[in-house]
Structure 1
Amino acid sequence: MRTALVIGTGLIGTSAALALAGRGVAVHLTDHDLARARTAAALGAGTEDAPEGPVDLAVVAVPPAHVPAALAEAMRAGVARGYLDVASVKGGPRRELEALGVDMSAYIGTHPMAGKERSGPLAATADLFEGRPWVLTPTRETDTEVLNLALELVALCRAVPVVMDADAHDRAVALVSHTPQLISSMVAARLADADETAVRLCGQGIRDVTRIAASDPRMWIDILTANPGPVADVLAGVSADLEETVRALRALQSPDEDKRRDGASGVENVLRRGNAGRERVPGKHGAAPAVYETVAVLISDRPGELARIFADAGSAGVNIEDVRIEHATGQQAGLVQLMVEPSAAPVLSAALRERGWALRQ
């Protein structure tokens, strides 16, 4: 791939453009919002100049509702040898595109499983897709050359290609992406009118659950409007679990010992099913989730403290597998939780104590 046209310079489009430009591809940028295209160009994602002729690949990075029209316009203008979109819904846009009567052999639907709570070109990074799944949904009509261009794009963005049927993809993302967004928003909404005393008790658990609730509602309305059925199906299952759990919790308030026992069993059932589901979430590099030991360290809110603790861990020959930071409410301090291999935990603990860090159990 030598040339590409990115249509839509939001987070995903600009990130893909940055990755391509950084690996020597001549990238052309266009957006209905000229300011966004100028911003993306200023970041080094490519040029606003129109290509002199057809490019190798056109990447359509617009909201799902606008994908068919944008693709059809680009394909009828013959701007590229191959076309793909990066929308988070695949089945509906593909069917709409077929209804428009365009050449489907030149198109492949794709979806990089990456994103942020922030949107727009200023949130974009060239490494956004590194190590992340990038779904490809070829059909019988998809030309081999177009599939190869899509695979090259995925490789240049250092993502991991995953081939799926379009409708199977939509059911999958309803489960692992779209429904979690709604549930995170619902939990966060309980905080909007909560008493300030309760809000001050927020810890890492509520921060983890509500992190994605900070996402742009306008973007998610576009996504959910394009995939309402599969999301509603998943939510219906969650709703049934909620009703059962509410009944179990009410039973725990009963003076009847048998009812309390049944209630405890019901709550335990949903928690254990949650354990089983969590165990299926892929861990580092897509492998089965590993069990790590946590080394908790008290850290002050001063510049360079995180860098120093990582440097000290590196000097001890310990690889940090994951990290979490829990801020202390109203204090200039926090607790850094360093996740490491179990065999490395004693080594890291001893090394950090030797260097003056205060560890917590």
Structure 2
Amino acid sequence: MRSVQVVGTGLIGTSIALALSRRGVVVYLDDRDTTAARTAEALGAGHLEEPPSRVDLAVLAVPPAHVGAVLVDCQRKGTAHAYTDAASVKALPHDEIRALGGDPATYVGGHPLAGAERSGPLAARADLFEGRPWVLTPSSQTDRAALNQGLELVSLCGGVPVLMDPEAHDRAVALTSHAPHLVSSLMAARLAEARSEYIRVSGQGLRDVTRIAGGDPALWSDILTANADAVADVLEEYAADLGRLIAALRAQRDDEGPRAKASADLRELLRQGARGHARVPDKRSVTPAQFVAVPVSVPDQPGALARLFSTVSDAGVNIEDVRIEHSVDDRRRGLVELLVDASSVPGVRRLLDDNGWVWQEEIPLV
């Protein structure tokens, strides 16, 4: 594989581009979000110009509902010899490609099972997929050449290929990802109007259960809509178990006989949960750092953003995220907020001073 176009420069798209660039593949970037695309380019993920000729593979790192339309558009332009995507739902893109008149022979569905707590290109890592499962969902019409390109992509990114039927994939992620996100959101929703003194006595258990509820609602609405039936099936099973739990808890006020049976039901449900938890791979928890935003004035010139990133990263400071705004008074300059660990701020300020950057007082994130 010599050349790839990555469409979509969020966390996954930029991570794929970084991994491929590190392996010597020429990567071209495309995104309607020009800030994200420029950031990815500044990080060394690839080039923003149009490919001079048809690339070997196009990777569509866009939401599930947009894969079909973007793929058909790329096919009509002759962007690549083969196509894949990185969406977390697979049956919908396969169906829409056929409905929109696309060519399913050059497409193999893909879903790298990796992610991060944060989104956007600055959260991207070239090693994000190393050792992680990467599902490929070829259809009966997928050419062997397209599947081989997908397999080579997974290999170059360090992933572990897993071949699945699109519908089986969607049922799997409904159980392991999509329904858990909704359960987390439902629990977190109980907190929205809760009394403050209740929130103050929350512990790590609540943080664990509600952590993923902080995901982007627009993105998750898109994902859940695209996999609605499979997710609803899992939630119906949850609802049945929830009904048993409610009945077991209400029965604690009954006579000894019903109360004993209810207690046995409660223990069995808890034991079943413990058995299921034991099958989940353990992952060491990481305590989130406290971040602050350091605003920096940047000239609107080619390469200025890359020079700023290089100044900070070369000193060993990790940029956790970035926000970019143009100045209202001077369109020739922009304001870039670098989100860094609070302990790094004094060093970052000295570094900016030494390299001629103009910064403002940092903004704590609350």
The structure, 1 or 2, with the larger RCO (C-alpha pairs under 8 Å, 6+ apart) is 2
The TM-score normalised by the length of structure 1 is 0.76
Aligned CA RMSD, in angstroms, stands at 1.9
| Structure 2 residue aligned with 1:214 | 214
| Structure 1 residue aligned with 2:58 | 58
Query: Residues of 1 paired with 2:268 and 2:213: CA distance?
Result: 27
Contact 2:23 2:156 in 1 (8 A): yes
| Structure 1 residue aligned with 2:261 | 262
Query: Residues of 2 paired with 1:193 and 1:128: CA distance?
Result: 37
Percent identity, aligned pairs only, is 58
| Structure 1 residue aligned with 2:103 | 103
| Structure 2 residue aligned with 1:18 | 18
| Structure 2 residue aligned with 1:245 | 245
Query: Residues of 1 paired with 2:157 and 2:197: CA distance?
Result: 45
Contact 1:137 1:164 in 2 (8 A): yes
| Structure 1 residue aligned with 2:343 | none
Contact 2:60 2:71 in 1 (8 A): yes
Contact 1:117 1:214 in 2 (8 A): no
Q: What letter corresponds to residue 275 of structure 1 in structure 2?
A: A
Contact 1:118 1:216 in 2 (8 A): no
Query: Residues of 1 paired with 2:180 and 2:279: CA distance?
Result: 16
1:119-162 Cα distance to aligned partner (Å, 9 max, x none): 22122221221221110001222122211111111111111111
Shift of 1:198: 2.3
Q: What letter corresponds to residue 154 of structure 2 in structure 1?
A: V
Contact 1:85 1:111 in 2 (8 A): yes
Shift of 1:233: 0.6
Q: What SS does the aligned partner of 1:136 have?
A: strand
| Structure 1 residue aligned with 2:162 | 162
The runs of 4+ residues in structure 1 deviating greater than 3 Å are none
| Structure 2 residue aligned with 1:3 | 3
Q: What SS does the aligned partner of 2:191 have?
A: helix
| Structure 1 residue aligned with 2:75 | 75
The TM-score normalised by the length of structure 2 is 0.75
Q: What SS does the aligned partner of 2:190 have?
A: helix
Query: Residues of 1 paired with 2:159 and 2:172: CA distance?
Result: 19
Query: Residues of 2 paired with 1:178 and 1:44: CA distance?
Result: 32
| Structure 2 residue aligned with 1:205 | 205
| Structure 1 residue aligned with 2:141 | 141
Query: Residues of 1 paired with 2:116 and 2:225: CA distance?
Result: 20
Query: Residues of 1 paired with 2:83 and 2:207: CA distance?
Result: 39
Q: What letter corresponds to residue 256 of structure 2 in structure 1?
A: E
Shift of 1:283: 5.2
Comparing 143-152 and 177-186, the one that deviates more: 143-152
Q: What letter corresponds to residue 251 of structure 2 in structure 1?
A: A
Query: Residues of 1 paired with 2:236 and 2:140: CA distance?
Result: 34
Shift of 1:45: 0.7
Shift of 1:15: 1.0
Q: What letter corresponds to residue 257 of structure 1 in structure 2?
A: E
Shift of 1:267: 0.7
* 2:149 matches 1:173: no
Q: What letter corresponds to residue 49 of structure 2 in structure 1?
A: D
Unpaired runs of at least 5, structure 1: 285-291, 293-298, 303-361
Query: Residues of 2 paired with 1:185 and 1:99: CA distance?
Result: 33
Contact 1:6 1:27 in 2 (8 A): yes
Number of paired residues?
A: 287
Contact 1:8 1:62 in 2 (8 A): yes
After TM superposition, list the pairs within 5 Å mapping 1:33-48 onto structure 2.
Answer: 33-48=33-48
Q: What letter corresponds to residue 225 of structure 1 in structure 2?
A: T
1:25-77 Cα distance to aligned partner (Å, 9 max, x none): 11000011222111111111101011100111100011111110000010111
1:219-262 Cα distance to aligned partner (Å, 9 max, x none): 101101101000011001101111110010010122x1112111
Q: What letter corresponds to residue 271 of structure 1 in structure 2?
A: L
After TM superposition, list the pairs within 5 Å mapping 1:304-319 onto structure 2.
Answer: none
1:289-327 Cα distance to aligned partner (Å, 9 max, x none): xxx9xxxxxx9x99xxxxxxxxxxxxxxxxxxxxxxxxx
| Structure 1 residue aligned with 2:131 | 131
Q: What letter corresponds to residue 260 of structure 2 in structure 1?
A: R
Q: What letter corresponds to residue 222 of structure 1 in structure 2?
A: D
Shift of 1:197: 2.5
Contact 1:117 1:216 in 2 (8 A): no
Query: Residues of 2 paired with 1:268 and 1:39: CA distance?
Result: 52
Query: Residues of 2 paired with 1:187 and 1:131: CA distance?
Result: 32
Q: What SS does the aligned partner of 1:192 have?
A: coil
Query: Residues of 1 paired with 2:229 and 2:55: CA distance?
Result: 36
| Structure 1 residue aligned with 2:280 | 281
